[in-house]
Amino acid sequence: MARVLVVDDALMMRKTIGTFLIRAGHVVVEEAATGEQAVAAYKKHLPDLVTMDITMPGVDGIGALEQITAFDPGARVVMVSALGQKHKVFDALQHGAKGYILKPFTEEKLLSIINELLGATTGGISSVVSEPVVMNANEKPLTAKMAFAVDNDANIVRITTLRDFAPVDFADLTKAIEGILQNQPPSIVFDFACGNALHCKSAPVYRKILEMVIASGQILKIICYAQDYTSYFRNIPSLQETEFELVKKRGVL
């Protein structure tokens, strides 16, 4: 049995999650409809787990997550997200969420995620997930320990690096891109601004992968920090016609 705080601005969703939890023998210590209420309820009850909606008025789920993990670094928070919010899930994982589930979900799926997370240690990031949203060659689910994520939205394939790559990660990325190119998407976006992925050792390997995309005839856009563009991409002839979106440096894992 676990003590759970349920956070969602929709009354029906709170009641649905609460019903699933109670039927499984868990206790709902409180329901919260806003991020502010969630933070106050967490400090009051110190629950074993929190289900946290991402989109709420005022302080949203990520804001509440940041405050809760600042108060209790060991907090177990599962984000509840709509399918179109996958990039917010990335942010939540980087700010301490231990897992996520996508709406709509079944009772079985919710309880499976919660039970696995409750059985995990609090020392690391759990691999608890719902339906995979990262579509790479091995269909790995999204976790904060993953090297990259692939999001296919509105005919644009977005590849986001989440951390520094090991050799096996480059092999996985190459296989994933080969599969993507077979489907001939209208455009491909590489986002290097979500993790500390680009450096002097990794940049040459990334350039070869980017050149493979260009050679296929696909439209390519690269999002990266301005200083990384200057250091690794600006003087590469094969990338001269590529669109770049430069962003300011921000905190990384």
pLDDT tens per residue across span 93-108: 888 888 888 877 889 8
Q: What pLDDT does residue 81 have?
A: 82
Confidence tier at 124 by pLDDT (50, 70, 90): very low
Domain 3-119 sits in CATH 3.40.50.2300? yes
Q: Which amino acid would we find at residue 153?
A: D
Could you give the C-alpha distances from 131 to 40, 55, 106, 197, 217, in angstroms and in order?
Answer: 31, 19, 11, 26, 32
Domain boundaries, the chain: 3-119, 148-247
Q: What pLDDT does residue 144 have?
A: 43
DSSP annotation of 175 reads H
**Mean pLDDT value across the chain:** 82
Q: What is this structure's pTM?
A: 0.54
The answer to whether residue 138 scores a pLDDT higher than 80 is no
pLDDT tens per residue across span 165-207: 888 889 988 988 888 888 788 889 999 987 678 899 999 999 9
* Residue partners of 62: CB distance under 8 A and separation at least 6: 54, 88, 91, 92, 95
- What are φ and ψ of residue 218, in 5° steps? -80, 150
The two tokens of residue 214 are 């260009």
- Contact assessment for residue 82 and residue 10, using Cβ atoms and an 8 Å cutoff: no
What value does the CA radius of gyration of the chain take, rounded to a whole number of Å? 20
The answer to whether residue 120 scores a pLDDT higher than 60 is no
Q: CATH number for the 148-247 domain, one of 3.40.50.12500, 3.30.750.24, 3.30.420.40, 3.40.190.10?
A: 3.30.750.24
Place of tokens 């789920």: 61
* pLDDT: which is higher, 116 or 189: 189
